[in-house]
A and B are shown apart, each in its own frame.
Chain A
Amino acid sequence: MTTNALKVTLLDTATGEPREAELLSSITETQLTDVEGEWKPALYDRFREFKRAGKPPAAWPGAENRHWDWRQKVEMLQGLLSHDGYCLTCQGMTEGLMLIDTSSYRCRLPENEKRNLVYIDYVENAPWNRPELKQAPRYRGIGSILVGAAIERSIAEEFKGRIGLHALPQAEAFYSATCGMTDLGPDTAKQGLRYYEMTAAQAEAFIAKGKNR
C-alpha cells in the first residue's frame, strides 16, 4: 500500500473551530496500536460506566461481535491489491478508519446490476466520536470525508463513484439521509445489516452537497 497524505479539515466540537487533519491511504502499525491501546480501552471505559449505571448488557447501544480481531483482519489484507485501508488522523491520533474492497462485490441496484463498485468493508470513528455512546463527539465530519475518499477511489478505478456498504443500525440515517444512498434492505449474509448503495448520480449529488452554501 502506498501512503499519500491529504490535508482535510474536521470540526472540533469543543471550540467550534476547524481543525486540520490528514487522510492517508494506508493503515499502518500506528493505527493498529491506536485501536488496541486507545480505542479499545476508551470503549471499555464507556462499557464500565454503562455497567455501573446498572444497565443490562442488552441495552448497550452498539451491537457486539464475538470475533473481534482487528489486527488479524488488517494483517490478512496487507499486500492485496483488491483491498485498501484509509485512516484519518488529527493531532497524532487516529480518529477514523476505513477498509475498502475493489474486487469482491458488484452493484445490486437493478440499474447498475453487476457493475463494479468500491465496497466499504469497514468504516468507524474513534469511540470518543461516537454519539450513540451518550457523549458529544469530539470531531465532526469524519464520516463524510471517508465516504468522500471511497467515492474518489471509485472514480479513479473508473467505477464512476459507485460505492456500497452494510451499515450498522445506528448509522442507517447517515447513509440514507446525509449520503443519499439507496437502502436495499437487510442482508442475511451480513448479520442482518442493511445494505446501502450509491449510484454515480448519487455520488455526484453527495459531493455537490458540500459545495452548496
Chain B
Amino acid sequence: MSTHMTKEWCLRMAELEGDASIAAGALALDPVFEEAPDVTDTDEANVAFGRFVRLMRRSQKMSREKLAEDADIDIKELIEIEDDVRHKPDVRSVYQISGVFKLPSAKLMQVAGLAKARNDNIERHMERFAARSDPMADLTDEERAALEDFVARLSSDN
C-alpha cells in the first residue's frame, strides 16, 4: 500500500474525527443479547454448566485457583459458576473456560444458557449429564463416563 496516511495525517484526522461513531453496514448492528430467560430455564442450564465446570476441573486435578488463573477469570466468578445455580456467568468467563478445556465456545455458551441451542440435542445431553452426575461426591467411574460422554457430545458437530 502506498499511502497518504503519514503520522501527521493520522493525528490531524484523529483530531477532526474526535469521539465520533463510525459504524456502517448492517453487519455493524449489535448482536441481540438474550436476556436471562425465565428462572426455571436458567436453573436447568446452570445446574449442568456449574456441575460440568466443577467435574472437568476435578477430572483434570485442578484447584479452583489454578482454573481461575489459567482461564484468567476472577476466582469469585468461578466459585459462583460452580456453586450458585442461579448465577449467570459472564460471556467472557465462559469463553475463557472453553479455552482451558479446549471445547467449542459456542456450545459451552449454550450450556451456560447464554446462547440459544440450535437444536434440542444439547439440552437433552445436558439433562442426561446433570442427572448422571453428583458434584459433591468424588468422581466415580459413572461420573467420569458421564463427563466423557458429554464432552464428546459438545465436541461433535451436532
Query: Nearest chain B CB to A124's CB is how many angstroms away?
Result: 4
Residues of A within 8 A of B136 (CB): none
A168/B16 in contact, CB under 8 A: no
Residues of B within 8 A of A6 (CB): 1, 3, 5
What is A's interface to B at a CB cutoff of 8 Å? 4, 6, 8-11, 18, 23, 25, 36-37, 40-45, 47, 51, 57, 60, 62-66, 68, 70, 73, 96, 99, 120-125, 130-132, 136-137, 140-146, 148-149, 152, 165-168, 170-171, 173-175, 178, 190-191, 193, 207, 209-213
Query: Nearest chain A CB to B144's CB is how many angstroms away?
Result: 30
Residues of A within 8 A of B92 (CB): 37, 41-42, 44-45
Bound-state CA distance A40–B90 (Å) is 11
Chain A residue nearest to B23 in the complex (CB):
A168
Chain A residue nearest to B95 in the complex (CB):
A37
Ranked nearest first, the 10 interchain pairs of A and B with the lowest CB-CB distance are: A141-B14, A143-B22, A65-B29, A68-B31, A41-B92, A144-B13, A122-B25, A210-B9, A11-B14, A170-B21
Chain B 10-58 residues near chain A, CB threshold 8 A: 10-33, 35
Bound-state CA distance A62–B19 (Å) is 16
Bound-state CA distance A4–B5 (Å) is 15
B35/A168 in contact, CB under 8 A: no
Bound-state CA distance A201–B10 (Å) is 20
Query: Nearest chain B CB to A190's CB is how many angstroms away?
Result: 6
Residues of A within 8 A of B10 (CB): 8-11, 18, 141, 144-145, 210
Which has the most chain A C-beta neighbours within 10 Å: B3, B24, B25, B35?
B24
Residues of A within 8 A of B28 (CB): 122-124, 168
A123/B12 in contact, CB under 8 A: no
A166/B26 in contact, CB under 8 A: yes
Residues of B within 8 A of A174 (CB): 17, 20-22
Residues of B within 8 A of A173 (CB): 20-21
Listed by A's residue number, 28 A-B pairs whose Cβ atoms lie within 8 Å are A11-B10, A37-B105, A42-B92, A45-B90, A47-B33, A57-B35, A64-B31, A65-B30, A96-B22, A120-B25, A124-B24, A136-B19, A140-B18, A144-B14, A148-B9, A148-B13, A152-B2, A152-B3, A165-B25, A167-B23, A173-B20, A174-B22, A207-B9, A209-B12, A209-B16, A210-B10, A210-B13, A210-B16
Chain B residue nearest to A194 in the complex (CB):
B24
Which has the most chain A C-beta neighbours within 10 Å: B4, B13, B19?
B13
From A11, A99, A137, A178, B27 is in contact (CB under 8 Å) with: A99
From B1, B17, B30, B32, A25 is in contact (CB under 8 Å) with: B1
Query: Nearest chain B CB to A58's CB is how many angstroms away?
Result: 13
B17/A143 in contact, CB under 8 A: yes
Known: A41-B92, A43-B31, A144-B14. A171 touches B22 (CB 8 A): yes
Residues of B within 8 A of A149 (CB): 1, 5
